[in-house]
A and B are shown apart, each in its own frame.
Chain A
Amino acid sequence: MLGNSVNPFVRKISKESWVLPVSGMCLVLGFMISLAWVTGRNRTSRENYLSPDQRQSVNEATMDVDQFQRLSAEVTTLQSQKTRLENALSKTGGQSKVLNDSLQELKAFAGLTPVEGPGVMITLHDSHPASEGMGGNFGVSPDFIIHDVDVLKVVNELVASGAEAVSVNNHRVAGNTSFRCVGTTILVNDIKIASPVVVRGIGDPNTLLGAMNMPGGVLAEIRQTDPRMVQIETVKDQELPEFVGSTTRHFLKPAKDVK
Protein backbone atom coordinates (compact mmCIF):
# COMPACT_ATOMS: atom_id res chain seq x y z
CA MET A 1 0.00 0.00 0.00
CA LEU A 2 2.79 2.39 0.84
CA GLY A 3 5.32 1.08 -1.61
CA ASN A 4 7.51 -0.39 1.10
CA SER A 5 9.55 -2.24 -1.50
CA VAL A 6 11.35 1.09 -2.03
CA ASN A 7 12.50 1.16 1.57
CA PRO A 8 15.20 -1.48 2.05
CA PHE A 9 15.17 -1.13 5.86
CA VAL A 10 11.67 -2.41 6.26
CA ARG A 11 10.95 -6.10 6.15
CA LYS A 12 7.91 -7.03 4.15
CA ILE A 13 6.10 -8.77 6.95
CA SER A 14 6.92 -8.78 10.63
CA LYS A 15 4.91 -10.70 13.15
CA GLU A 16 6.37 -8.95 16.20
CA SER A 17 3.67 -7.44 18.35
CA TRP A 18 3.92 -3.68 18.66
CA VAL A 19 1.75 -3.26 21.74
CA LEU A 20 4.26 -4.02 24.49
CA PRO A 21 7.26 -2.02 23.23
CA VAL A 22 5.05 0.93 22.36
CA SER A 23 3.45 0.78 25.81
CA GLY A 24 6.86 0.67 27.45
CA MET A 25 8.03 3.72 25.55
CA CYS A 26 4.75 5.45 26.28
CA LEU A 27 5.53 4.99 29.97
CA VAL A 28 8.87 6.73 29.44
CA LEU A 29 7.22 9.46 27.35
CA GLY A 30 4.60 10.12 30.01
CA PHE A 31 7.38 10.50 32.56
CA MET A 32 9.22 12.91 30.28
CA ILE A 33 6.14 15.00 29.59
CA SER A 34 5.54 15.42 33.32
CA LEU A 35 9.07 16.69 33.70
CA ALA A 36 8.77 19.07 30.76
CA TRP A 37 5.40 20.44 31.88
CA VAL A 38 5.48 24.18 32.63
CA THR A 39 4.41 24.44 36.28
CA GLY A 40 4.41 27.09 38.95
CA ARG A 41 7.86 26.07 40.09
CA ASN A 42 9.72 26.25 36.80
CA ARG A 43 7.58 28.90 35.14
CA THR A 44 9.82 31.88 35.86
CA SER A 45 13.00 30.17 34.73
CA ARG A 46 11.44 28.98 31.47
CA GLU A 47 9.55 32.15 30.67
CA ASN A 48 12.55 33.73 28.92
CA TYR A 49 12.59 30.97 26.33
CA LEU A 50 8.92 31.17 25.42
CA SER A 51 7.57 33.15 22.49
CA PRO A 52 5.64 36.36 23.35
CA ASP A 53 2.14 34.89 22.99
CA GLN A 54 3.07 31.94 25.20
CA ARG A 55 4.49 34.34 27.77
CA GLN A 56 1.18 36.15 27.81
CA SER A 57 -0.79 32.99 28.57
CA VAL A 58 1.70 32.14 31.31
CA ASN A 59 1.14 35.57 32.83
CA GLU A 60 -2.59 35.09 32.73
CA ALA A 61 -2.25 31.67 34.29
CA THR A 62 -0.49 33.01 37.38
CA MET A 63 -3.80 34.16 38.78
CA ASP A 64 -6.10 31.60 40.32
CA VAL A 65 -9.68 32.84 40.04
CA ASP A 66 -11.15 30.33 42.50
CA GLN A 67 -8.58 31.15 45.12
CA PHE A 68 -9.17 34.85 44.62
CA GLN A 69 -12.90 34.44 45.19
CA ARG A 70 -12.37 32.39 48.34
CA LEU A 71 -9.84 34.84 49.72
CA SER A 72 -11.91 37.92 48.92
CA ALA A 73 -14.92 36.35 50.65
CA GLU A 74 -12.70 35.74 53.66
CA VAL A 75 -11.47 39.33 53.62
CA THR A 76 -15.06 40.60 53.51
CA THR A 77 -16.02 38.49 56.53
CA LEU A 78 -12.97 39.52 58.50
CA GLN A 79 -13.44 43.20 57.71
CA SER A 80 -17.07 43.21 58.83
CA GLN A 81 -16.15 41.21 61.94
CA LYS A 82 -13.50 43.77 62.76
CA THR A 83 -15.98 46.61 62.38
CA ARG A 84 -18.45 44.80 64.65
CA LEU A 85 -15.79 44.25 67.30
CA GLU A 86 -14.72 47.88 67.12
CA ASN A 87 -18.31 48.99 67.57
CA ALA A 88 -18.80 46.58 70.50
CA LEU A 89 -15.63 47.83 72.14
CA SER A 90 -16.75 51.45 71.84
CA LYS A 91 -19.93 50.73 73.82
CA THR A 92 -17.93 50.37 77.04
CA GLY A 93 -17.16 54.07 77.33
CA GLY A 94 -17.49 57.52 75.82
CA GLN A 95 -13.81 57.91 75.05
CA SER A 96 -13.60 54.72 73.03
CA LYS A 97 -16.78 55.73 71.20
CA VAL A 98 -15.13 58.91 69.98
CA LEU A 99 -12.10 56.90 68.98
CA ASN A 100 -14.25 54.39 67.10
CA ASP A 101 -16.20 57.07 65.24
CA SER A 102 -12.97 58.56 63.97
CA LEU A 103 -11.73 55.08 63.07
CA GLN A 104 -14.86 54.22 61.06
CA GLU A 105 -14.62 57.52 59.23
CA LEU A 106 -11.02 56.79 58.36
CA LYS A 107 -11.89 53.29 57.15
CA ALA A 108 -14.61 54.64 54.88
CA PHE A 109 -12.09 57.09 53.47
CA ALA A 110 -9.50 54.36 52.92
CA GLY A 111 -12.08 52.18 51.14
CA LEU A 112 -12.13 49.40 53.74
CA THR A 113 -15.90 49.47 54.29
CA PRO A 114 -18.69 49.11 51.76
CA VAL A 115 -20.27 52.51 51.08
CA GLU A 116 -23.39 53.77 49.39
CA GLY A 117 -24.63 57.04 47.98
CA PRO A 118 -25.68 58.87 44.81
CA GLY A 119 -23.36 59.23 41.86
CA VAL A 120 -22.75 58.24 38.27
CA MET A 121 -22.25 55.00 36.41
CA ILE A 122 -20.04 54.96 33.33
CA THR A 123 -20.01 51.95 31.03
CA LEU A 124 -17.17 51.52 28.55
CA HIS A 125 -17.63 49.02 25.71
CA ASP A 126 -15.28 47.76 23.04
CA SER A 127 -16.53 48.78 19.63
CA HIS A 128 -17.05 46.21 16.90
CA PRO A 129 -16.92 48.19 13.65
CA ALA A 130 -16.36 45.13 11.44
CA SER A 131 -19.55 43.45 12.61
CA GLU A 132 -21.67 46.56 12.19
CA GLY A 133 -21.44 46.78 8.42
CA MET A 134 -18.55 49.16 7.86
CA GLY A 135 -17.49 46.65 5.24
CA GLY A 136 -14.04 45.30 4.57
CA ASN A 137 -12.66 46.48 7.88
CA PHE A 138 -10.94 43.29 8.96
CA GLY A 139 -8.20 44.51 11.22
CA VAL A 140 -9.65 46.07 14.37
CA SER A 141 -7.86 49.31 15.12
CA PRO A 142 -6.54 49.62 18.69
CA ASP A 143 -8.74 52.72 19.06
CA PHE A 144 -11.83 50.53 19.05
CA ILE A 145 -10.77 48.70 22.21
CA ILE A 146 -11.00 49.89 25.81
CA HIS A 147 -7.48 49.92 27.23
CA ASP A 148 -6.09 50.13 30.73
CA VAL A 149 -5.16 53.74 30.00
CA ASP A 150 -8.80 54.61 29.23
CA VAL A 151 -9.95 53.13 32.54
CA LEU A 152 -7.14 54.91 34.36
CA LYS A 153 -8.07 58.25 32.78
CA VAL A 154 -11.78 57.84 33.56
CA VAL A 155 -11.06 57.00 37.20
CA ASN A 156 -8.62 59.89 37.45
CA GLU A 157 -11.18 62.27 35.96
CA LEU A 158 -13.88 61.03 38.34
CA VAL A 159 -11.69 61.55 41.41
CA ALA A 160 -10.58 64.94 40.10
CA SER A 161 -14.20 66.05 39.67
CA GLY A 162 -15.07 65.17 43.25
CA ALA A 163 -16.03 61.49 43.45
CA GLU A 164 -15.61 60.30 47.02
CA ALA A 165 -15.45 56.60 46.22
CA VAL A 166 -14.85 54.81 42.91
CA SER A 167 -15.19 51.19 41.88
CA VAL A 168 -14.30 49.48 38.61
CA ASN A 169 -16.34 46.37 37.77
CA ASN A 170 -17.13 46.02 41.49
CA HIS A 171 -13.49 46.33 42.54
CA ARG A 172 -13.02 49.24 44.87
CA VAL A 173 -10.37 51.76 43.96
CA ALA A 174 -8.25 52.35 47.05
CA GLY A 175 -4.90 53.95 47.77
CA ASN A 176 -2.79 51.20 46.26
CA THR A 177 -5.01 50.27 43.32
CA SER A 178 -3.28 49.74 40.00
CA PHE A 179 -4.57 49.44 36.44
CA ARG A 180 -2.49 47.42 34.07
CA CYS A 181 -2.83 45.77 30.68
CA VAL A 182 -2.19 42.03 30.34
CA GLY A 183 -2.79 40.68 26.87
CA THR A 184 -6.47 40.95 26.06
CA THR A 185 -7.60 41.89 29.55
CA ILE A 186 -7.11 44.68 32.07
CA LEU A 187 -5.90 44.04 35.62
CA VAL A 188 -7.51 46.02 38.43
CA ASN A 189 -5.96 45.33 41.83
CA ASP A 190 -4.30 42.36 40.01
CA ILE A 191 -7.75 41.01 39.09
CA LYS A 192 -8.65 40.44 35.46
CA ILE A 193 -11.54 42.40 33.98
CA ALA A 194 -12.67 42.86 30.38
CA SER A 195 -15.09 44.94 28.35
CA PRO A 196 -17.68 46.14 29.28
CA VAL A 197 -15.99 48.08 32.06
CA VAL A 198 -18.40 49.62 34.57
CA VAL A 199 -16.96 52.52 36.54
CA ARG A 200 -19.09 53.74 39.44
CA GLY A 201 -18.39 56.91 41.37
CA ILE A 202 -20.13 58.30 44.48
CA GLY A 203 -20.49 62.05 44.61
CA ASP A 204 -22.81 64.84 43.47
CA PRO A 205 -24.45 63.24 40.40
CA ASN A 206 -24.90 66.41 38.38
CA THR A 207 -21.40 67.71 39.05
CA LEU A 208 -19.90 64.37 38.12
CA LEU A 209 -22.04 64.07 34.98
CA GLY A 210 -21.13 67.56 33.84
CA ALA A 211 -17.45 67.09 34.55
CA MET A 212 -17.30 63.79 32.73
CA ASN A 213 -19.12 65.15 29.67
CA MET A 214 -16.74 68.08 29.42
CA PRO A 215 -15.78 68.81 25.78
CA GLY A 216 -12.26 67.62 25.10
CA GLY A 217 -12.40 65.41 28.20
CA VAL A 218 -11.51 61.77 28.40
CA LEU A 219 -14.99 60.51 27.46
CA ALA A 220 -15.18 62.91 24.51
CA GLU A 221 -11.91 61.47 23.30
CA ILE A 222 -13.32 57.94 23.30
CA ARG A 223 -16.60 59.13 21.77
CA GLN A 224 -14.64 60.49 18.83
CA THR A 225 -13.82 56.93 17.81
CA ASP A 226 -17.33 55.61 18.33
CA PRO A 227 -20.09 57.32 20.38
CA ARG A 228 -21.52 53.93 21.37
CA MET A 229 -18.39 53.00 23.30
CA VAL A 230 -19.37 55.21 26.25
CA GLN A 231 -22.55 55.35 28.31
CA ILE A 232 -22.92 57.57 31.35
CA GLU A 233 -25.93 57.90 33.63
CA THR A 234 -26.65 59.33 37.04
CA VAL A 235 -27.62 56.93 39.82
CA LYS A 236 -29.74 57.89 42.83
CA ASP A 237 -28.31 55.29 45.14
CA GLN A 238 -25.62 52.74 44.56
CA GLU A 239 -23.50 50.52 46.76
CA LEU A 240 -19.75 50.15 46.29
CA PRO A 241 -17.95 47.14 47.79
CA GLU A 242 -14.99 47.47 50.11
CA PHE A 243 -11.40 47.01 48.98
CA VAL A 244 -10.56 43.32 49.31
CA GLY A 245 -6.89 43.38 48.31
CA SER A 246 -4.00 42.92 50.67
CA THR A 247 -3.48 45.62 53.28
CA THR A 248 -0.27 44.08 54.61
CA ARG A 249 2.71 46.41 54.71
CA HIS A 250 6.26 45.12 54.88
CA PHE A 251 8.30 48.30 54.68
CA LEU A 252 5.96 51.05 55.70
CA LYS A 253 5.69 52.26 59.30
CA PRO A 254 4.47 55.56 60.74
CA ALA A 255 7.15 58.22 61.00
CA LYS A 256 8.81 58.43 64.43
CA ASP A 257 8.08 62.05 65.33
CA VAL A 258 4.29 61.69 65.08
CA LYS A 259 3.05 61.84 68.66
Chain B
Amino acid sequence: MILIPIVALILGAMIAIAINVPAVPGIYGQYLAIACLAGFDTICGGIRAGMEDKFRRAVFVSGFISNVVIASFLAWLGFKIYINLFLAVALVLGARIFTNLSLIRRYGLTKWEDARERRRLQAQAQSQSVANAQPEPNP
Protein backbone atom coordinates (compact mmCIF):
# COMPACT_ATOMS: atom_id res chain seq x y z
CA MET B 1 0.00 0.00 0.00
CA ILE B 2 2.87 2.34 0.82
CA LEU B 3 4.25 1.46 -2.61
CA ILE B 4 1.50 3.25 -4.52
CA PRO B 5 2.55 6.77 -3.40
CA ILE B 6 6.19 5.96 -4.13
CA VAL B 7 5.31 4.77 -7.63
CA ALA B 8 3.22 7.93 -8.08
CA LEU B 9 6.18 10.06 -6.97
CA ILE B 10 8.44 8.45 -9.56
CA LEU B 11 5.69 8.70 -12.17
CA GLY B 12 5.35 12.44 -11.49
CA ALA B 13 9.07 12.93 -11.98
CA MET B 14 8.96 10.83 -15.17
CA ILE B 15 6.10 12.91 -16.58
CA ALA B 16 8.08 16.09 -15.96
CA ILE B 17 11.09 14.56 -17.72
CA ALA B 18 8.99 13.11 -20.55
CA ILE B 19 7.29 16.38 -21.48
CA ASN B 20 10.67 18.04 -21.06
CA VAL B 21 9.80 20.97 -18.83
CA PRO B 22 12.90 23.08 -18.29
CA ALA B 23 14.19 23.08 -14.71
CA VAL B 24 13.29 26.31 -12.93
CA PRO B 25 16.21 28.75 -12.89
CA GLY B 26 17.49 31.21 -10.33
CA ILE B 27 15.80 32.21 -7.11
CA TYR B 28 12.50 30.67 -8.26
CA GLY B 29 14.22 27.30 -8.27
CA GLN B 30 15.09 27.87 -4.62
CA TYR B 31 11.47 28.73 -3.80
CA LEU B 32 10.32 25.60 -5.59
CA ALA B 33 12.87 23.52 -3.70
CA ILE B 34 11.58 24.75 -0.35
CA ALA B 35 8.02 24.11 -1.60
CA CYS B 36 9.05 20.51 -2.38
CA LEU B 37 10.22 20.13 1.20
CA ALA B 38 6.84 21.39 2.44
CA GLY B 39 5.05 18.99 0.09
CA PHE B 40 7.11 16.07 1.32
CA ASP B 41 6.33 17.00 4.91
CA THR B 42 2.59 17.11 4.19
CA ILE B 43 2.70 13.74 2.49
CA CYS B 44 4.49 12.18 5.46
CA GLY B 45 1.85 13.75 7.70
CA GLY B 46 -0.90 12.33 5.52
CA ILE B 47 0.52 8.82 5.66
CA ARG B 48 0.90 9.09 9.41
CA ALA B 49 -2.71 10.28 9.80
CA GLY B 50 -3.81 7.39 7.62
CA MET B 51 -2.03 4.94 9.91
CA GLU B 52 -3.67 6.57 12.90
CA ASP B 53 -7.10 6.27 11.18
CA LYS B 54 -7.48 10.03 11.38
CA PHE B 55 -7.02 10.82 7.69
CA ARG B 56 -9.34 13.44 6.17
CA ARG B 57 -9.04 14.22 2.52
CA ALA B 58 -10.01 17.90 2.76
CA VAL B 59 -7.50 18.57 5.53
CA PHE B 60 -4.76 16.77 3.64
CA VAL B 61 -5.25 18.44 0.26
CA SER B 62 -5.70 21.93 1.70
CA GLY B 63 -2.70 21.30 3.97
CA PHE B 64 -0.54 20.30 1.00
CA ILE B 65 -1.41 23.42 -0.98
CA SER B 66 -1.20 25.86 1.92
CA ASN B 67 2.08 24.43 3.24
CA VAL B 68 3.66 24.70 -0.20
CA VAL B 69 2.47 28.28 -0.62
CA ILE B 70 3.43 29.35 2.91
CA ALA B 71 6.91 27.82 2.67
CA SER B 72 7.63 29.58 -0.63
CA PHE B 73 6.14 32.80 0.70
CA LEU B 74 8.34 32.72 3.80
CA ALA B 75 11.41 32.05 1.67
CA TRP B 76 10.48 34.93 -0.62
CA LEU B 77 9.88 37.22 2.34
CA GLY B 78 13.24 36.26 3.83
CA PHE B 79 14.94 37.05 0.53
CA LYS B 80 13.26 40.46 0.42
CA ILE B 81 14.06 41.46 4.00
CA TYR B 82 17.55 39.92 3.99
CA ILE B 83 16.91 37.33 6.68
CA ASN B 84 17.69 33.74 5.88
CA LEU B 85 14.17 32.38 6.34
CA PHE B 86 15.10 29.56 3.93
CA LEU B 87 17.00 28.09 6.81
CA ALA B 88 14.13 28.56 9.28
CA VAL B 89 11.66 26.87 6.93
CA ALA B 90 14.09 24.06 6.09
CA LEU B 91 14.81 23.49 9.78
CA VAL B 92 11.16 23.33 10.85
CA LEU B 93 10.10 21.18 7.89
CA GLY B 94 13.10 18.91 8.32
CA ALA B 95 12.28 18.33 11.99
CA ARG B 96 8.64 17.60 11.12
CA ILE B 97 9.62 15.16 8.38
CA PHE B 98 11.81 13.31 10.84
CA THR B 99 9.03 13.14 13.45
CA ASN B 100 6.45 11.95 10.93
CA LEU B 101 8.75 9.34 9.44
CA SER B 102 9.71 7.96 12.85
CA LEU B 103 6.03 7.71 13.84
CA ILE B 104 5.23 5.93 10.56
CA ARG B 105 8.04 3.50 11.28
CA ARG B 106 6.74 2.85 14.81
CA TYR B 107 3.20 2.19 13.60
CA GLY B 108 4.49 -0.15 10.94
CA LEU B 109 6.65 -2.03 13.42
CA THR B 110 3.83 -2.32 15.94
CA LYS B 111 1.48 -3.63 13.26
CA TRP B 112 4.02 -6.21 12.13
CA GLU B 113 4.80 -7.37 15.66
CA ASP B 114 1.10 -7.65 16.49
CA ALA B 115 0.52 -9.78 13.40
CA ARG B 116 3.44 -12.04 14.30
CA GLU B 117 2.23 -12.43 17.89
CA ARG B 118 -1.28 -13.24 16.67
CA ARG B 119 0.03 -15.93 14.32
CA ARG B 120 2.13 -17.41 17.09
CA LEU B 121 -0.84 -17.60 19.48
CA GLN B 122 -3.01 -19.12 16.77
CA ALA B 123 -0.39 -21.77 16.02
CA GLN B 124 -0.06 -22.52 19.73
CA ALA B 125 -3.81 -22.88 20.15
CA GLN B 126 -4.01 -25.14 17.11
CA SER B 127 -1.22 -27.46 18.30
CA GLN B 128 -2.84 -27.67 21.71
CA SER B 129 -6.18 -28.60 20.24
CA VAL B 130 -4.48 -31.24 18.08
CA ALA B 131 -2.73 -32.67 21.15
CA ASN B 132 -5.99 -32.76 23.08
CA ALA B 133 -7.76 -34.46 20.21
CA GLN B 134 -5.27 -37.32 20.11
CA PRO B 135 -6.74 -40.51 21.54
CA GLU B 136 -5.31 -41.95 24.76
CA PRO B 137 -2.55 -44.49 23.93
CA ASN B 138 -3.94 -47.08 26.32
CA PRO B 139 -7.64 -47.36 27.13
**Chain A positions near chain B (C-beta within 8 angstroms):** 1-2, 4, 9-19, 21-39, 41-42, 45-46, 49
Residues of A within 8 A of B5 (CB): 19, 22-23, 26
Q: Tell me which of A15, A16, A42, A45 has the highest count of chain B C-beta atoms within 10 A of its own C-beta.
A: A16
Q: Which residues of B contact A (CB under 8 A)?
A: 1, 4-17, 21-27, 29-30, 32-33, 35-36, 39-40, 42-43, 46-47, 49-50, 52-57, 59-61, 64, 68
Q: How far is the CA of A9 from the CA of B63 in the complex (A)?
A: 13
- Contact between B22 and A22, CB atoms less than 8 A apart: no
Interface of B is mostly: helix
8 Å CB contact of A16 from B10, B12, B27, B57: B57
B61:A21 contact, CB within 8 angstroms: yes
Q: Distance in Å from the Cβ of B21 to the closest Cβ of chain A?
A: 6
What is the minimal beta-carbon distance from B60 to any residue of chain A, in angstroms? 5
Rounded to whole Å, the gap between the CB of A96 and the closest CB of chain B is 53
Asked whether A33 lies within 8 Å of B13 as measured between CB atoms, the reply is yes
- Among A2, A22, A32, A38, max chain B CB count under 10 A is at A22
Can you list 19 A-B pairs, Cβ within 8 angstroms, ordered by A? A4-B54, A10-B54, A12-B54, A14-B54, A16-B56, A19-B4, A22-B5, A22-B43, A23-B5, A25-B46, A25-B60, A26-B9, A28-B64, A30-B15, A32-B68, A33-B12, A36-B32, A45-B26, A46-B26
Q: Is the CB of A25 within 8 A of B59?
A: no
- Given the contacts A29-B40, A41-B22, A17 and B13 also touching, CB distance less than 8 Å: no
Q: Please, which residues of chain A bring their CB within 8 A of the CB of B39?
A: 25, 28-29, 32
Contact at A33–B8, with CB atoms within 8 Å? no
Instruction: Determine whether the beta carbon of A46 is less than 8 Å from that of B25.
Output: yes
Across-interface contacts of A19 in B (CB, < 8 A): 1, 4-5, 50
Q: Is the CB of B13 within 8 A of A34?
A: yes
Tell me whether B24 and A36 are in contact (CB under 8 A). Answer: yes
**Contact flag A18-B49 (CB < 8 Å), given A29-B40, A34-B17:** yes
Q: Report the minimum CB–CB distance from B107 to chain A (whole Å).
A: 9
Are A36 and B12 touching (Cβ within 8 A)?
Answer: no
How many angstroms between the C-alpha atoms of A4 and B14 in the bound complex?
Answer: 38
Shortest 5 CB-CB distances between A and B: which pairs?
A: A30-B12, A18-B50, A34-B16, A18-B55, A36-B32
